[in-house]
Amino acid sequence: MLHEILDTLHNAPDQPLWLPDLHAAFSRCEERYDVIIRQLGHNGEVFDLPCPLPIWHNEDESALIQQYLNARIYNLLSARSARELQFYYDPECAALSDLIKSLDESFQLMQTSRSGLGKVVNIAERMARAGQGAGFRFSSLPISEYRAHSHAARAEKTDLAVSLKNLAAEAEALCLVGIDVGGTDIKLAASKRGKLVCLKEYDWNPAASPTAEGIVEPILLLTRLMRACIAFAGHSAIPPSLSAALDKSATDAQIRAAVEEAERALGERIDLLDGVGLSFPDIVIDDRIVGGETPKTDGMRKNRALDYETEFGKIRELREALLRLCRSGGRVRLTNDGNMAAFTAAMELSHSAEADAVCDGVVAHTLGTDLGSGWLQPDGTIPPLPLEMYDFIIDVGSRRSAAWPPQDLRSTKNENSGLAGARRYMGQAAAYRLAQKLAPELLDGFRRVDGNLMYVPTAPLDLRKPCLEHLMQQAQNGVSAAEEIFRQIGEHLAVLSAEMDSILHPESKQRFLYGRFVKTQRCFELLCEGFARRDTGIKLRAADEELACTPLMRQLANRASFTVAQFGQAVGSIYFALS
């Protein structure tokens, strides 16, 4: 088996080799080593992941097995994290023992500055520090001592639809702001006693900021802008300066001047904000941002003039800063952008004729700048897990593409980890890569070449979003190569779903999609066509205008200049503030 796989990789060096397919093949293999990985979670949970490995006979086969095992461990830690991973196997097998022992070096446990596979160890240790726990480690035990863990029963299902309807009813009497933070823009929505007052889109590039202030301050300033608009709404016309600040083209200086002018005019009347819900593209546990390994903090990570852990700690305190903008007793809730997508889908479904669809929980993905993934469980809770599936390793093939540096649009490597990760198979970076691979002329006018490096520029003009819009338009126009881009992204999403199911076991067999990729019906149809290339038993649903059922979301759907696909998570964040 291993010999045949290696022959395929040699003869077709850029053909994908999907991780779920390898797992299925290895599970059927009769000549194998049985390995069970036990995850001991930060919150006391225990999870077992069977990881059978075919017996290998030479260095090339050994290298493939090591790559496979590293990927499975990396995905397990990306999704669930851990304070410890225990490996049950036969210690009499010297080759297998050596492989397990090599994990300390592969994941850089003894180092303080980690890269690649070690990124998930950084996250595990930040999560441990947040909970006052010890550092992360691997350990080994004889498989003869393995006893299947008696997993705690799943949380009892509640009438989730009723609970969500109650939240929406509570929002009818309050002043709330919802914030959807993305990689290239921030979208905000404000409501006052059940009326959608205003919406704001703000373009930014957080990865370029060398300090935490460059990430935190725009969020706080924009929250102040929305608060000021709420204060004027219903009493008098919003001042022209505030209206101008709501325009997408408004500069930071214009926004700040308008906000400060409004705050002076309002005085104590500005103290009316009841809550803020915020979706952030990083790991968020208990309303605190604890990840720190995403591209959004790349500028901070490269700033040698500061200590990264100390600086990142300032972002972790974002909730406290937002609370200071709320009245006494106000509420601030933060979660990952993927989790917010799941919450938003559940909230809208609960107000629809399909309210029963939330009884098994909701799994959602955002497809835009990056890939976000979220999970609302049947009891209405968001599991306290990283769920960093944008970094999943789903392909251990495509070796020609993996040879390009992460900064190159042809590469399958994620910029933050340097590994071949899911965001280069889904999200806008995947669209650029597949366009160059399938029909390079699709990138004419958007592609730059600097030496051997090929990229979509971010300066002096950021062409990433216009490039994606162009590719989507070409697909909508029926250009076959552009259509195939979105089919392949859909197929990749099906691979991700298979890997996700093996590690998380969500009950829901639906996946709700948010973001720019589903803004047009044709692109969503193409995603579904590609998704259907693999038999997953899962159905894709677009979170578009048809999923606009709550009072605030219906108001958004009725606005001519804004779409649910774009601002749905900002509106969902309003309701999440009360969860």
- H/E element holding 355? none
Work out the average pLDDT over 144-153: 79
CA distance readout (Å), 10 to 18, 44, 60, 259: 16, 44, 11, 61
User: One fold for both 160-333+568-573 and 362-553+558-564?
Assistant: yes
pLDDT band at 44 (very low <50, low <70, confident <90, very high): confident
Assign 151 a pLDDT band (cuts: 50, 70, 90).
Answer: low
Q: Report the CATH superfamily, name and number, of domain 160-333+568-573.
A: ATPase, nucleotide binding domain (3.30.420.40)
Q: For residues 73 and 100, give the distance between their C-alpha atoms in angstroms, rounded to a whole number.
A: 11
- Is residue 132 over pLDDT 60? no
- Tens-place pLDDT, residues 370-428: 888 999 998 889 999 999 898 899 999 999 999 999 999 999 999 888 999 999 999 89
pTM: 0.86
Q: Percent of the chain, pLDDT > 70? A: 98
* Mean of pLDDT values over 458-465: 92
What pLDDT, on the 0 to 100 scale, is given for residue 155? 52
Q: Where are the domains of the chain?
A: 31-145, 160-333+568-573, 362-553+558-564
Q: Which residue has the higher pLDDT, 1 or 347?
A: 347
Query: Among 360, 362, 375, which Cα is nearest to 157's?
Result: 360
The reported pLDDT for the residue numbered 133 is 59
Q: Which of 513, 523, 517 is nearest to 569 (CA)?
A: 513
pLDDT > 90? residue 152 = no
In the predicted model, what is the mean pLDDT of residues 14-35? 94
Determine which of 37-41, 206-210, 345-349, 357-361 has the lowest per-residue pLDDT on average.
357-361
What is the arithmetic mean of pLDDT over 159-188? 95
pLDDT(242) > 90: yes
The length of the chain in residues reads 579
**Class of domain 362-553+558-564 as given by CATH:** alpha beta
Would you place residue 156 in the very low, low, confident or very high pLDDT band (cuts 50, 70, 90)? low
Confidence of residue 560 (pLDDT cuts 50, 70, 90): confident
CA distance 38 to 571: 39
